[in-house]
Homo-oligomer: A and B are copies of this chain.
């Protein structure tokens, strides 16, 4: 037999990711890209990182920073995270925290921990494409976690019976979600926790964009809401996944998980078996930079991204055909457009790239059931005011078939 013939079934379930193929387009000169959900590299705290890495490699640090370390993660970084979590209503200890190589790794481990083939995962229609990619390896069925956001009524179509498996987890990004930009209000978070209790499932709260709120009032994390109900994180079924990718640097691959100790214990064993630990020096450098400038740096990011969001919302108002609607996110990096039912986002992308050189992500990529053909995701994080105005104007032209 050839090797491909003996790949485990989970291998054949993995198909080339749309986002990955799209990222390859971004090198085209002159392209205006609203595609990537990536931070603006001009805003990286690079000088601070240069100083932090130099300190981490000083003679008295190198025996630690270049050596193997514990799977749980660098203790001072976990202590810093304990302090940050307390500020958002999540009292916990370092034993409730695992450092991961980006929150993507947390999603992979949580899929591995909770999902067996045929189990059901509830996800938004649409949801973060990377969560589907991570969970797919464990061969779940998906069912729709239906949340209508931004302070309106909330409902859930669990349909677990339709999918047929036992519901093991509900995954969502509650703040400025990728791809819709929407935020789940407090009423929705309460309803979600009620649903999770009823189903006996875990809640995976992806907080990748949580720090990037530009206006409106902060809603406590789902985990904070559950702790308020139950008195201690040890009784909670919510698992909070944090990330430094949108605030400090994605390239250093640093995220964290906050959960009850039995969950963290299992994840630590998984991490030990899967890659031993996240790079020691990177953890030390991120701790160094975060403990010095995190709040002021996030303030700078908020100012820059808020302006770009405002510019894009205004440009959409001016240039979009009347038949197009979009979300008005209070933070994050994304605006989600719904086109008239007849227009296909993937076809629109092809036309847009060919005729005006504007890139975005067709919404269909974010639907586990491959619906949502008439939606697209725009990111405003990496474009300046002129690019946003010009790009949205050109996109309007393409939509009108000009």
Please list the residues of chain A having a beta carbon within 8 angstroms of any beta carbon in chain B.
Answer: 1-11, 14-17, 20, 23, 36, 38-39, 41-42, 44, 46, 49-50, 53-54, 57-59, 62-71, 100-102, 104-105, 108, 112-116, 119, 130, 133-134, 136-138, 166, 168, 200-202, 237, 245, 249-253, 260, 262-263, 266, 269-270, 272-282
**How far apart sit A50 and B53, CA to CA, in the bound complex (Å)?**
8
**How far apart sit A3 and B38, CA to CA, in the bound complex (Å)?**
33
A379 to chain B, nearest CB (A): 13
Please give the count of copies of this chain that the complex contains: 2
A285 to chain B, nearest CB (A): 9
**A136 (CB) vs chain B CBs: closest residue:** B273
| B-chain residues with CB within 8 Å of residue A266 when the two chains form the complex | 7, 11, 14
Given contacts A44-B66, A54-B50, A274-B137, contact A269 B113 (CB under 8 A): no
A177 to chain B, nearest CB (A): 18
Q: Are B250 and A114 in contact (CB under 8 A)?
A: no
Contact partner, A251, options B69, B108, B113, B270, Cβ 8 Å: B69
Chain A to chain B contacts (Cβ below 8 Å), 28 pairs: A2-B237, A3-B263, A7-B114, A8-B112, A8-B168, A14-B266, A14-B269, A23-B70, A38-B67, A38-B68, A41-B66, A44-B62, A46-B62, A50-B54, A50-B57, A53-B54, A66-B252, A67-B249, A68-B245, A68-B250, A101-B101, A130-B273, A133-B273, A251-B281, A252-B279, A252-B280, A253-B278, A281-B282
Contact partner, A112, options B10, B16, B275, B276, Cβ 8 Å: B10
Q: Closest 3 A-B residue pairs measured CB to CB? A: A41-B63, A46-B62, A251-B280
Contact partner, A8, options B23, B69, B113, B130, Cβ 8 Å: B113
| B-chain residues with CB within 8 Å of residue A10 when the two chains form the complex | 112, 116
Q: Are A71 and B38 in contact (CB under 8 A)?
A: no
Contact partner, A108, options B9, B202, B237, B274, Cβ 8 Å: B274
Among A3, A57, A253, A269: residue with most chain B CB under 10 A = A3
Q: Are A3 and B273 in contact (CB under 8 A)?
A: no
**A134 (CB) vs chain B CBs: closest residue:** B273
A277 to chain B, nearest CB (A): 7
A134 to chain B, nearest CB (A): 5
| B-chain residues with CB within 8 Å of residue A23 when the two chains form the complex | 70
A171 to chain B, nearest CB (A): 14
Q: Are A279 and B279 in contact (CB under 8 A)?
A: yes
A226 to chain B, nearest CB (A): 12
Among A2, A23, A50, A274: residue with most chain B CB under 10 A = A274
Among A4, A36, A266, A280: residue with most chain B CB under 10 A = A266
Q: Are B1 and A200 in contact (CB under 8 A)?
A: yes
| B-chain residues with CB within 8 Å of residue A4 when the two chains form the complex | 262
Q: Are B281 and A114 in contact (CB under 8 A)?
A: no
A258 to chain B, nearest CB (A): 14
| B-chain residues with CB within 8 Å of residue A63 when the two chains form the complex | 41-42, 44
| B-chain residues with CB within 8 Å of residue A245 when the two chains form the complex | 68
Q: Are A275 and B105 in contact (CB under 8 A)?
A: yes
Q: Are B54 and A66 in contact (CB under 8 A)?
A: no
| B-chain residues with CB within 8 Å of residue A5 when the two chains form the complex | 200
| B-chain residues with CB within 8 Å of residue A166 when the two chains form the complex | 6
Given contacts A202-B6, A252-B66, contact A16 B269 (CB under 8 A): yes
**How far apart sit A69 and B250, CA to CA, in the bound complex (Å)?**
9
Contact partner, A249, options B66, B101, B273, Cβ 8 Å: B66
A263 to chain B, nearest CB (A): 6
**A280 (CB) vs chain B CBs: closest residue:** B251
| B-chain residues with CB within 8 Å of residue A237 when the two chains form the complex | 2-3
| B-chain residues with CB within 8 Å of residue A101 when the two chains form the complex | 101, 275, 278-279
A366 to chain B, nearest CB (A): 15
A253 to chain B, nearest CB (A): 5
